[in-house]
């Protein structure tokens, strides 16, 4: 597919000469470009047609809770529409941002200052990755420890398409909008724990069929028995290795 058939939306939290340069480079490369700068209500009108969204993040994205919430809402909408994202921001807040918004884990990231000349190649890589991911089985990782969730995702990405949420109710909300093939669910979480999430999933017709595997740090006989009394698809100890986890998932999803 030629670039002239690709529609890209550039979302600029803060308009600048750099954003103008990005817009010009994309247009010169044959992409059809829509720029949203502060008029973010227009995003809804563009969710169906674009294949890719480029988000130019402000320098205070992790400290300004209003902007962080806005980014969260937009990311949810883009993810639900099937679009992929490229995030442009400062390297120093990358890890903190992903910890705050795990849904962004796995999206393409470019550090500022961005090399505008390399942007078309980055776009094509992102789109190819999106096509490849679409053919993979989908696994939702639910764990209140973002670091552990990201580690598991890193272990299995490429073999599976992964999504991360860090709270029980986030999982419920996510699953009402997205279809997945399996859920890796932390047994012990604050507020809404794994057993409560499993119970809610089984009460909903749309989610009752999804296999759930508990993630647990308790390997005693009594602990395992307590987990299995809830009749999940299985359980995985958090101390398991990458190789053992991949083998276990292959068995469950074959």
pLDDT in tens, 144-185: 998 899 899 989 987 898 888 888 888 888 888 788 999 999
Q: Write out pLDDT tens, residues 189-203.
A: 888 888 999 999 999
d(CA 219, CA 130): 37
> Are 184 and 152 a contacting pair, CB within 8 Å?
yes
> Are the beta carbons of 86 and 52 closer than 8 angstroms?
yes
The CATH number assigned to the domain with range 3-132 reads 3.40.50.2300
Domain segments of the chain: what residues? 3-132, 138-253
CATH of region 138-253 = 3.40.50.2300
Can you give the pLDDT at residue 240? 93
pLDDT value at residue 1: 46
- Among 59-68, 157-166, 218-227, the least confident range: 218-227
What's the confidence (pLDDT) of residue 250? Answer: 93
Does the pLDDT at position 107 exceed 80? yes
At residue 181, the pLDDT reads: 95
Phi and psi at 48, nearest 5°, equal: -85, -35
Report the chain's mean pLDDT, rounded to a whole number. Answer: 85
Q: What is the pLDDT of residue 50?
A: 59
Q: Distances from the Cα of 195 to the Cαs of 60, 95, 189, in angstroms?
A: 37, 29, 10
């Amino acid at each position: 597919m030629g670039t002239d058939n690709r529609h890209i939306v550039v979302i600029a939290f803060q308009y600048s000469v750099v954003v103008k340069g990005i817009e010009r480079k994309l247009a010169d490369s044959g992409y059809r470009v829509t720029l949203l700068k502060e008029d973010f209500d227009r995003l809804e009108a563009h969710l169906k047609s674009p294949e890719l969204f480029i988000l130019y993040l402000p320098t205070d994205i992790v400290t300004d809770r209003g902007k962080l919430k806005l980014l969260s809402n937009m990311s949810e909408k883009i993810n639900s529409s099937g679009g992929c994202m490229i995030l442009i921001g400062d390297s120093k807040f990358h890890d903190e941002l992903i910890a705050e918004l795990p849904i962004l884990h796995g999206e393409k990231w470019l550090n500022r200052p961005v090399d505008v000349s390399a942007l078309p190649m980055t776009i094509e890589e992102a789109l190819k990755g999106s096509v490849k991911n679409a053919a993979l089985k989908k696994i939702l990782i639910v764990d209140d420890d973002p670091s552990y969730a990201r580690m598991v995702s890193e272990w299995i990405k490429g073999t599976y398409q992964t999504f991360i949420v860090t709270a029980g109710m986030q999982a419920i909300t996510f699953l009402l909008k997205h279809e997945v093939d399996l859920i890796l669910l932390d047994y012990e979480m604050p507020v809404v724990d794994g057993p409560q999430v499993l119970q809610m999933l089984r009460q909903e017709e749309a989610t009752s069929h999804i296999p759930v595997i508990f993630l647990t740090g308790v390997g005693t006989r009594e602990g395992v028995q307590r987990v299995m009394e809830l009749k999940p698809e299985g359980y995985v100890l958090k101390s398991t290795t990458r190789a053992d986890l991949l083998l276990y998932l292959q068995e469950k999803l074959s």
